[in-house]
Structure 1
Amino acid sequence: MLVEGTILRGPNFESVEGRVVVEDGTITAIEEESVSSSDIILPAFVNAHTHIGDSIAKEAGGGLSLEELVAPPDGLKHRLLRQTARSEKVEAMRRSVQFMQSTGTASFLEFREGGVEGVFALREAAEGLDIDPIILGRETIEAMEAADGFGASGANDDSFGEERRATKKAEKLFGIHAGEADPSDINPALDLSPEFLVHVVHPEPIHLDRIEDNGIPIVVCPRSNLVTGVGLPPIRKLLDRTTVALGTDNVMLNSPSMFREMEFTAKLTDLSAREVLRMATQNGARIAGLNCGVIESGRDGKLLVLDGDSDNLTGNRDVIRSVVRRAGASDVKDVLL
């Protein structure tokens, strides 16, 4: 398979004209030469934090606090999930997965409620689609064993020591929410030596030092943090210390669109477009242990092709800024997964 256009090549997204050669799902060459296509070729996204079970309750609970919305076991989302038939939850999740795939997401890291049954329900929802969910079971060790790892809520609610030990023994991912509403649960979360933390809106100097010293990656969800009123993560400080990836968080609160997450992040911070694109692609892939997120030989051929001659993108003078700050679903020409 040959894909032609302007290629955002390598870890620094060097803009080159040419074609990407994909054989048996693997990138085998990037041929730099003049081509007639105006397409823009970039790595497909990795959405590093989602709760897509919330697809049954989009925009529910306006005006509620973070705890009232999502705190287990009786936050609004948990009550609604308990009241909803399994078939309805599966179909709602499938629609969200289809949306993510159609807008260029290759994989997503899902904190999956509902124990073992919740894991199976998401697998059913994604069946037959090309997108690869990385499922982190919640609530029980059995859910972790059925999934790709364990996704913990904040360490103030539970020590999660037993779950962490079991996950480590199984050699699976352990991720945990930390520092979303306040800094009190960041040290307890770091004590568990997780593979990654989610949110980290309120880190103090000691937390930043520990994150850097232990090489703990962070997933930030700026749109979600703004909606729930907890503040915005200090992304620049975090990036200076460790790997930082982007996630869209609860579908209840935000669409699982990496285009929207990138634009919001780029326009609300001093980060460069290149840094934001890296957070939406290769950094999430690194956390998940995936061989994608970068266009170079030997990587999985998971690509997003944008129409550079769309009404929205034609005339752009900086292709990376245009992808991050301007592009959207209507500019997607093809998604190759």
Structure 2
Amino acid sequence: MPRSNLISRYGIIGEDLELKQNIEISIDAEGRISNLEFEDIKNDEISLKEENSNSLIIPGFINSHVHIADNFAKEGGYNRNLLDIVAPPNGLKHKLLRNTAKQVKLLSIKKGVEELLSNGITTFIDFREEGIKGINLMKEALEDNEIIYKIQGRYSNENEIEHIFKLADGLGLSSYSKVKPTHQQIIKSCKNRFNKLVACHDAENKRKPELFQKLIRDDIVDVIIHGTHYLEKDFRKIIKNKLTLVLCPRSNAYFGVGFPDIKAILKLRMKISIGTDNLMAISPNLFDEIRYLYFRAREMGLNNQSGLNAKELLKMITVNAARNFKLKESMGSISEGKLANFNIINLNDSNFFTQRLNRKKFFPLIIQRTKTENIKKTIIRGKVVHERKY
């Protein structure tokens, strides 16, 4: 027997994010979609004329890269150099994390998650500083929270590596330069034994070809964060070696470090995903993130023929993200058997008004016009975890 049912006028359904109508979803006791029914939209024109019945259900968003605990230090990096703020161990962020009371950091994480949920983010991947203590801090802060999170832990010495793998969901390296020869075999062994991912920042501030070649050759890293200064040949090596890539465009802009070669990324049809990075610098709004990516790409002369379209942008924060972090069996799309992680948007809100709306315009409308306040409900495992009453 289903635990609950959900009905929506419209929905973005399946791995290809297809627009359907008259959606009916049954959710089982484990919070998974047990039955999914919908109808094709036969006419090209989409009507939003019926008041109070134009809800849209879309997949819950996955934020592919976050540092949530620095939320208490908002704008500490404003107009300042990237390395002065985030480089371990003596960047401003790390000094603040060491010297800030535990209760402040716990509240920082909780308030950060409230903001994530309000923006429709149902899952986030956190790069957790402060080693074992940082992992335990996250778990304590969110022990009663419904949000789904994955911790990429960080070690300070080789004796911590195995313990980090046991406690966290994988490793989150600040730079591959931190991986010493004595660490490599330990990481490889733990990675295989625990079947967990290794993610790593690279080329955020500067391209370092020798370090990148070592990263590829050692075959330890699964996910690269940033790649802001990569060349097309670097992207080709990422594809060849079956790594995945996460971009953080607004963070790159905030710290003035550049913008990734989106033209090459689109040319190679890379299945990138998107993160919002440090909460101390960037608000965790994935609609803002993909809009900014779109605007910068258009500035470069890219268009639909380049592979830049609204549906592909939406995939970056749903199906691509799930794939990149090996979560696709449980999330990323509205599909039978997956977790019932959704957002419900009210298409009757004034900012969606348009005289004529067809299927071609629908995805651009959602991507370009949706504001945080349009997300009326955020649902995780079939449970409403955030709701707007207005």
Matched with 1:173 is 197
| Structure having the higher Rg | 2
Q: Does 1:20 align with 2:20?
A: no
Q: For residue 123 of structure 1, what is the amino acid of its counterpart?
A: K
**What is the match of residue 344 of structure 2?**
305
CA distance in 2, matches of 1:136, 1:222: 20
Matched, 1:246 2:235: no
Tell me by how many angstroms 1:113 deviates.
Answer: 0.5
Q: What residue is the counterpart of 1:264 in the other structure?
A: 292
Which residue identity is paired with 2:111? R
State the Cα deviation string for residues 140-189 of structure 1 (Å, max 9, x = none).
41223211111001113434524344233321111011111122132232
- Taking the TM superposition and a 5 Å limit, the aligned residue runs for 1:1-337 are 1-24=5-28, 25-27=31-33, 28-32=35-39, 37-139=53-155, 140-141=160-161, 142-159=163-180, 161=184, 162-184=186-208, 185-193=211-219, 194-239=221-266, 240-269=268-297, 270=302, 271-290=308-327, 291-315=330-354, 317=357, 318-337=361-380
C-alpha displacement of 1:78: 0.2
Q: In the TM superposition, what whole-angstrom CA distance separates every residue of 1:211-260 from its partner, at most 9, and x where no partner exists?
A: 11112110000000111111111234224253200000011110111121
Name the amino acid aligned to 2:36.
A
Distance change in 2, residues 1:294/1:57 (3 Å): same
- Percent pairwise identity: 31
Q: Tell which deviates more after alignment, 196-205 or 86-95.
A: 196-205
> Do 1:9 and 1:15's aligned partners in 2 also have CA atoms closer than 8 Å?
yes
The structure-2 alpha-carbon separation of the partners of 1:257 and 1:114, relative to structure 1 and needing over 3 Å to count, comes to same
- 2:21·2:40 contact (CA, 8 Å) conserved in 1? yes
Give the aligned length: 337
State the one-letter code of the partner of 1:244.
I
User: 1:289 & 1:275 partners in 2: Cα distance?
Assistant: 19
CA distance in 2: counterparts of 1:332 and 1:115, whole angstroms: 35
Contact 1:106/1:131 (<8 A) preserved: yes
Counterpart-to-counterpart distance in 2, 1:236 and 1:56: 36
Q: Which runs of 4+ in 1 moved over 6 A?
A: 33-36
**What is the letter of the counterpart of residue 280 of structure 2?**
M
Aligned-partner Cα distance in 2 for 1:126–1:326: 31
Partner Cα distance (2:197, 2:229) in 1: 24
Query: Please, what TM-score do these two structures have when normalized by structure 2?
Result: 0.82
Contact 2:20 2:38 in 1 (8 A): no
How far does residue 195 in structure 1 lie from its aligned partner after superposition? 1.7
1:19–1:230: structure 2 CA closer, same or farther, 3 Å change rule? same
How far, CA to CA, are the matches of 1:226 and 1:191 in structure 2?
A: 30
Distance in 2, Cα, partners of 1:244 & 1:264:
15
Give the aligned CA root-mean-square deviation in angstroms: 1.9
The question of whether the paired residues in 2 share the 8 Å contact of 1:7 and 1:16 is answered with yes
- Residue 135 of structure 1 and its aligned partner are, at CA, apart by 0.5
Gaps of 5+ in 1: none
Structure 1 distance, partners of 2:311, 2:342, is: 17
Unaligned runs of 5+ in 2: 42-46, 303-307, 381-390
Contact preservation (8 Å) 1:313, 1:331: no
